[in-house]
Amino acid sequence: MKKILGIDVGGTKIIYAVLNEKGDFLTDIKKISTSKQIDDLVGQFRTIINEYENQIDIVAFATAGAVNLNNTRVESSTPNLPLGYNSIDFSSLSNKPVYVENDANAAAWAEYKTGAAIGDNNTIIITLGTGVGGGFIINGSLLRGKSGRAGEVGSMKIQGRGRICTCGRKDCFESYASGSGLKFTAIETAKNDDLFLTSIYKSKSPEEITTYDIINGLKENDEYSKKVFNIWQNDLTVGLINIVNIFDPDSIVLSGGMGEFADIEKIEDNINKEIVVSKVKVKLAKAGNYSGMIGAALLACDKF
Amino acid sequence: MKKILGIDVGGTKIIYAVLNEKGDFLTDIKKISTSKQIDDLVGQFRTIINEYENQIDIVAFATAGAVNLNNTRVESSTPNLPLGYNSIDFSSLSNKPVYVENDANAAAWAEYKTGAAIGDNNTIIITLGTGVGGGFIINGSLLRGKSGRAGEVGSMKIQGRGRICTCGRKDCFESYASGSGLKFTAIETAKNDDLFLTSIYKSKSPEEITTYDIINGLKENDEYSKKVFNIWQNDLTVGLINIVNIFDPDSIVLSGGMGEFADIEKIEDNINKEIVVSKVKVKLAKAGNYSGMIGAALLACDKF
């Protein structure tokens, strides 16, 4: 059975471990801080690979950014990684075959092969974190598009309220359905709804309310927080309905920090009431925090 | 070389002819009116098939409605076809193999194999007619979804102005980008913009203005008509940007009655200014009025 060195490159940390071709971890998972300088970062990659090269068959990277169709380079700009990151030829970093995959795609693959979407040959994994990302499995294959950049679902302009997104455009799905979107909805609601006046956060100014406050307010049974969360969840549902109508998938899997707070059953009901395609299941991700590494390792095994 | 009897079933007429496996027509194209009663309609199918059965290898239907993954039945309701249409087992209509495909998918396949999108392995054909339809080619295959219903892009709720769609929901892409959408935009603009007061249509009430009036107004250089059309085209572009950001396709092909009036170059420029994936080409369909028959025939050849 092949052994794969999985390396997940994030803006703040790099995590790595050796996996087998089923996605099981064979070593401890190690973490280091991501270097802010490109030469140092490449040095970190080389050091990690040197440590394991004689005991593995393949190196598999999961990384932010759009990956080329050969799975050897990151082609887009990646604001959280050092300048020059898209000049790295990952295949040159090891004598063993090297595979690079976009982290959202890799995580989606892990959900499909080992997580919540096993057996769902048409499934879409939506990551609800600081931003909104998407990984699309169509007929058992990843949707990559002509250049590997497909799946930019956070930029979908949905039916909204004219909200300005961090990208400068209006009504992006991400500006509503992300963690930041929840904060924007909290501010909007505090300014426009009297429920705020009796909320546990009434002493704060609207702009001071955080995403965490609203999540905490749900636990405290705060009516304002519940209303904010409900609006957030309805906006999320608008975007999911669009996606389901286009893809007619078996399932939608919600992952990321915000996913675990969503009312999966209610979202599924509301989607199935509105769609014009056949009914869909909504599921919570379960491939875990290391799904990027797992998915990249499994995809690398398929290629090499 | 195989010979295929192609039959395109529309709400008002059935058109049919014999094609070869390249999609060339080997006989004249015949038309009859679509029967409004299910038994009569099945009778029409049998008569057409009997006429050609001894000189062909395959029967290929293009039809409205969602087709099952076996390509033997229509599974959705089809408002323009008689009640009971989805009870027809098309495979029982002939001794030769029978293939059924959704007409939008079939037309998309014809564009990909013989029309504007030859060589574009990732391409999306958007039909702008009375409604808005989509056919999606991903990595050289049709997007079908779990039940054959994928591609319902007209139901995508886009960034809009709260417009009520004929389906009763708000801000559906179809309510803006269809021919009827142009009429709604004409009414909206006539009520809100002084340009109407100097328009060639100023003697009409807003509700009397038709889609045709606006198209005619463009030729007459009428400023009001130009403004209406520009708003329509911008709304269309909003939806196309969403689609491109999700699929990262080589091309978008515009077809249908409204497609030919669109300013392809301007739409392409505006899409490419906004998308976060790599640049896309926008093209005008050229597989022609019989693209449904052609695409169904070609797909049937691939299957049988």
- Chain B interface residues facing chain A, Cβ-Cβ under 8 Å? 66, 121-122, 134, 136, 138-139, 141, 143-153, 155-160, 167, 169-171, 238, 241-243, 245-250, 274-278
Q: What stretch of H or E contains B264? A: helix B264-274
Per DSSP, what are the bridge partners of residue B3? B20
The pLDDT of residue A64 is 87
**Distance from C-alpha of A16 to C-alpha of A190, rounded to nearest angstrom:** 43
Instruction: Kindly state the average pLDDT of the residues A232-243.
Output: 98
For B240, the token pair is: 């196309």
For A188, the token pair is: 């909007």
Query: Which residue in chain A has the smallest CA separation from B163?
Result: A159
Give the residue from A159, A271, A274 with the most B CB atoms within 10 Å of its CB, the best one to mutate: A159
Query: Which residue in chain A has the smallest CA separation from B245?
Result: A152
What are the pLDDT digits (tens) for A76-86? 877 789 999 99
> If you average pLDDT over every residue of chain A, what do you get?
95
Q: For residue B102, give the nearest of B124, B140, B135 by alpha carbon.
A: B135
CA distances from B67 to A136, B72, B103 (A): 22, 7, 10
CB contact under 8 A, A146 and B238: no
A283: pLDDT strictly greater than 90: yes
Half-sphere exposure for B70 (CA within 13 Å, toward CB): 9
CB contact under 8 A, B246 and A152: yes
Q: Given pLDDT bands bounded at 50, 70 and 90, which one contains residue A130?
A: confident
Residue A48: CB atoms within 10 A of its CB come to 19
What values do phi and psi take at B269, rounded to 5? Answer: -60, -50
| CB < 8 Å to A250, chain B | 146
What are the pLDDT digits (tens) for B5-64? 999 998 889 999 999 999 999 999 999 999 999 999 999 999 999 999 999 999 999 998
| CB < 8 Å to B157, chain A | 158-159, 238, 241-242
CA distance B29 to chain A (A): 33
Amino acid identity, position A150 = A
What values do phi and psi take at A209, rounded to 5? Answer: -70, 135
The pLDDT of residue B54 is 96
**Distance from C-alpha of A187 to C-alpha of A212, rounded to nearest angstrom:** 13
Q: What stretch of H or E contains B251? A: strand B251-255
**Distance from C-alpha of A103 to C-alpha of A293, rounded to nearest angstrom:** 8
CB contact under 8 A, B145 and A122: yes
Please tell me which of the candidates A138, A171, A242 has its beta carbon nearest to residue B156. Answer: A242
DSSP state for residue A258 in the 8-state scheme: T
Please tell me which of the candidates A134, A245, A278 has its beta carbon nearest to residue B146. Answer: A278
Instruction: Kindly state the average pLDDT of the residues A114-124.
Output: 98
A41: pLDDT strictly greater than 80: yes
Cβ–Cβ under 8 Å, residues B89 and B73: yes
CB contact under 8 A, A153 and B238: no
**Distance from C-alpha of A18 to C-alpha of B197, rounded to nearest angstrom:** 73
Angle at B217 between CA B213 and CA B220, to 5 degrees: 140
Query: Which residue in chain B has the smallest CA separation from A77?
Result: B276
What values do phi and psi take at A242, rounded to 5? Answer: -55, -45
The pLDDT of residue B9 is 95
| CB < 8 Å to B147, chain A | 248, 277-278
Cβ–Cβ under 8 Å, residues B199 and B225: yes
What are the pLDDT digits (tens) for A63-106? 988 899 999 999 887 778 999 999 999 999 999 999 999 999 99
What are the pLDDT digits (tens) for A43-58? 999 999 999 999 999 9
CB contact under 8 A, A158 and B160: no
The pLDDT of residue A65 is 87
Please tell me which of the candidates B139, B146, B241 has its beta carbon nearest to residue A157. Answer: B241
CA distance A75 to chain B (A): 10
3-state secondary structure of A211: helix
CA distances from B184 to A7, A180, B57, B191 (A): 53, 35, 47, 11
| CB < 8 Å to A153, chain B | 245-246
**Distance from C-alpha of B274 to C-alpha of B21, rounded to nearest angstrom:** 40
DSSP state letters, B172-237: BHHHHHSHHHHHHHHHHHHHH-GGGGGSTTTTS-GGG--HHHHHHHHHTT-HHHHHHHHHHHHHHH
Q: Given pLDDT bands bounded at 50, 70 and 90, which one contains residue A289?
A: confident
| CB < 8 Å to B245, chain A | 152-153, 155-156
CB contact under 8 A, A156 and B245: yes
The pLDDT of residue B220 is 97
The pLDDT of residue A242 is 97
Sorted by where each starts, the structural domains of chain B and their CATH numbers stand as: 3-109+289-303 (3.30.420.40), 119-285 (3.30.420.40)
- Chain A interface residues facing chain B, Cβ-Cβ under 8 Å? 66, 121-122, 134, 136, 138-139, 141, 143-153, 155-160, 167, 169-171, 238, 241-243, 245-250, 274-278
CB contact under 8 A, B159 and A158: yes
CA distance A280 to chain B (A): 9
The pLDDT of residue B79 is 79
Q: How many CB pairs under 8 A join A and B?
A: 129
Strand order in the sheet with A123-128: A141-142, A132-138, A123-128, A251-255, A281-284
The pLDDT of residue B182 is 97
Low-confidence spans in chain B with pLDDT less than 50: none
ipTM of the complex: 0.93
Query: What pTM was computed for the model?
Result: 0.93
Angle at B140 between CA B134 and CA B146, to 5 degrees: 60
CB burial of residue B91 (10 Å; 0-12, 13-18, 19+): middle
**Distance from C-alpha of A45 to C-alpha of A36, rounded to nearest angstrom:** 13
DSSP state for residue B131 in the 8-state scheme: S
CA distance A147 to chain B (A): 7
The pLDDT of residue B33 is 96
